[in-house]
């Protein structure tokens, strides 16, 4: 960060460990899943940041909450904000990038992260997001026209039992 004043965030890869680490590891995209060391440390390799990855970053956070950020970038965006449906570190880093700051990826697992339970905020958020996507995908036609879709479904369903 000292060598480049345009860098507002520095993030690293990390190593998951603990009893829930294997399950958590499997939720990351395959291209991020790195080696498993000593059957205990599950390495996650995040992608390098580039300005053309802003939209990708907006959809999926690849800068963890233990990333470093420059004080000026923090002040430039007004610090952290609590948003209801977005983890605060993701929104915070997104604001920094939107303001024109660069992010730098150190491709070493410098953070060791214990996944304690399935009730941590990051896990709950991912479950909620996955659930919402599944509902949207499966019920997309129904949500557009619930009456028509229900009638169409009912007709198909009951025609199996009441053939004339």
Cβ–Cβ under 8 Å, residues 28 and 115:
no
pLDDT at position 19 over 80: yes
Q: Which residue has the tokens 């709950």?
A: 124
The pTM of the whole model exceeds 0.95: no
Within 10 angstroms of residue 97's Cβ, the number of other Cβ atoms is 21
Q: Which two tokens stand for residue 23?
A: 């399950």
Name the E strands within 7-101: 7-17, 33-37, 41-44, 68-69
CA 22 – CA 40 distance, rounded (Å): 8
Site of tokens 């909620």: 128
Q: What confidence tens digit (pLDDT) does each residue in 44-72 have?
A: 999 999 888 888 888 888 998 899 999 99
d(CA 7, CA 5) in angstroms, rounded, equals 6
Q: Residue 43's closest CA among 52, 51, 33, 53?
A: 33
| Mean pLDDT across 88-107 | 92
The residue-averaged pLDDT of 109-122 equals 72
Task: Map out the domains of the chain as residue ranges.
Answer: 1-116, 118-164
Q: Tell me what percent of the residues of the chain surpass a pLDDT of 70.
A: 69
Please tell me the distance from the alpha carbon of residue 132 to that of residue 92, in angstroms, as a whole number: 23
Pairing of strands 41-44, 102-114: unpaired
Pairwise pLDDT comparison (157 vs 8), residue with the higher score:
8
């Amino acid at each position: 960060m000292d060598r480049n004043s345009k860098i507002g965030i520095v993030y690293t890869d990390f190593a998951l460990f603990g009893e829930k680490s294997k399950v958590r590891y499997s939720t990351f995209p395959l291209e991020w899943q790195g080696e498993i060391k000593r059957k205990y440390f599950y390495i996650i390799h995040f992608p390098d940041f580039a300005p053309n990855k802003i939209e990708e970053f907006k959809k999926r956070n690849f800068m963890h909450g233990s990333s470093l950020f420059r004080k000026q970038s923090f002040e430039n965006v007004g610090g952290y904000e609590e948003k209801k449906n977005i983890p605060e570190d993701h929104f915070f880093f997104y604001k920094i990038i939107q303001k024109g700051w660069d992010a730098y990826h150190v491709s070493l697992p410098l953070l060791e992260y214990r996944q304690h339970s399935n009730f941590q905020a990051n896990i709950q958020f991912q479950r909620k997001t996955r659930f919402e996507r599944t509902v949207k995908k499966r019920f997309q036609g129904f949500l557009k026209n619930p009456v028509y879709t229900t009638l169409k479904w009912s007709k198909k369903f009951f025609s199996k039992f009441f053939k004339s």
